[in-house]
Structure 1
């Protein structure tokens, strides 16, 4: 029997997620609902309908078992991080869903194909201060000296630990 290469017909379409995308700051900063909405939107891509991907908040909420407000926040998250672009705003009264473009896919036009814009590559996370970064000790988790005594007025040096958990024999602070 000959080896088959490629996907099996019963598998249908698939959504490739390159490592560059999965390891990006933008992808890792997405909320869980945003990832689900991105994948749902991607299932509507047929190879030539990018920029005409239709998915309403109500439809996404029903399909993904989420609230409409959660879906709306997920779309805002996807837009802010450069994964989707709103091409045409929907109209509730005329029953038209929003039309989206996935930035990881190209757009087919009458006169050729536009390449993917990969807007997510431009995303830069906001710098926030957390944990030991908030102190004035330049991010050191352990100060060079520990307070001693009941009044904590005298300082004594921190004793280095030798042969720590990694067995390196080096000093660990």
Structure 2
């Protein structure tokens, strides 16, 4: 969402398709990690909100050029309507449970299982771990 909003702030009404924003600049401005920004760019493209118009070039210090699909694009022959590619995106269908039983899913039972011999179950005791490095030992 942060990346999407940042790209919108760079849109001035006539520069769609020429919105410059590199991964490094986005990471710095938005206070996110580079891997997070890269995933955000990919996600926005996959869902049809963003299109890469021109790939950037590290050696020529040129950022990627982006187009927002929700905005009109100014071309030499006039304005081109927004493509709104996001309208065609559909989430991937994921399989749940086994293929034979559609109602099967991994659900934690409400009660502890009963043992066949009637022995009493004991609750699990927490394990306390000692933290190292917080106190100096002599």
> What is the match of residue 139 of structure 1?
103
Q: 1:102 aligns with which of 45, 51, 68?
A: 68
* Structure with the larger RCO, 1 or 2 (CA within 8 Å, 6+ apart): 2
Residues 87-126 of structure 1: matches in 2 within 5 Å?
87-126=53-92
RMSD, aligned α-carbons:
2.1
CA distance in structure 2 between the partners assigned to 1:111 and 1:56 by the alignment: 28
Gap regions ≥5 residues in structure 2? 106-113, 117-138
Matched position secondary structure for 2:53: strand
Q: Which structure has more helix as a fraction of its residues?
A: 1
Number of residue-to-residue matches in the alignment: 108
**TM-score scaled by structure 2?**
0.71
CA distance in structure 1 between the partners assigned to 2:33 and 2:52 by the alignment: 20
Gap regions ≥5 residues in structure 1? 1-34, 142-148, 152-173
**How many angstroms does 1:112 deviate by?**
1.0
